[in-house]
Amino acid sequence: MDSSPQDRFTDRFLSALKYAFHLHKNQIRKSKDIPYFAHLMSVTAMVLEAGGDEEEAIAALLHDAVEDQGGRSRLAEIHDLFGKRVADIVDGCTDAYQTPKPPWRERKEAYLKHLENASPSVILVSLADKVHNARAIYHDLKRDGDLVWERFTGGKEGTLWYYRQLVKAFHPHADQYPILTQNLVRLVEEINRLANKME
């Protein structure tokens, strides 16, 4: 028999929710009109819907904390507060630890390489993150057209390249996370179709 929600969650999740809110409450998404915290909640929901456990859900809430809010010192704090497994997942979802960040293409190529040997938990959280980001790009592209690419360091060509490579990187996990991988494929196909149509 499956465990009940009461059995699956503890006050650690609530603590992580509050912690993530405190870190990101003043951030907004690239579209400029959506609170960043909405992204964290959406990614966490996707992780849970794909069968993620409490620690994977906590890591989903905190997956951008190191990159956006404090680097390695933040990662150490997450380790102290939420344990090694959560910290390892967050670490596996991070592609930069310092400000300013290393060159964009270099970071993305390194992250794609890292995904080849990432743990199932890192794959799950990262995949959910990329699905939600791709969904945001798709909706913004429909609304704003080519102006959307000005919001991305990689520009149009770099961003399209990166998401095509992400589809390839996550393909080996299609059997484990079929809905998420299918959603990523569909969204990236639609993003490329719209981008080509606007040329």
| Residue 180 binned pLDDT confidence (cut-offs 50, 70, 90) | very high
The total of other beta-carbon atoms located within 10 Å of residue 75's CB is 20
DSSP state of 2: P
Interatomic CA distance for residues 76 and 66, integer angstroms: 9
Give pLDDT, residue 141: 93
Q: At what angle do helices 120-144 and 155-170 cross, to 10 degrees?
A: 140
Q: Contact, 30 vs 151, CB < 8 A?
A: yes
Interatomic CA distance for residues 57 and 125, integer angstroms: 8
Q: Which of 14, 128, 4, 8 is nearest to 82 (CA)?
A: 14
Residue 22 has pLDDT above 60, yes or no: yes
Q: Which two three-digit tokens encode residue 157?
A: 């060509």
Interatomic CA distance for residues 26 and 188, integer angstroms: 29
What pLDDT digit, counting tens, does each position of 43-65 carry?
Answer: 999 999 999 999 999 999 999 99
Q: Which of 43, 58, 46, 42 is nearest to 8 (CA)?
A: 58
Q: Contact, 184 vs 131, CB < 8 A?
A: yes
More confidently predicted of 180 and 69:
180
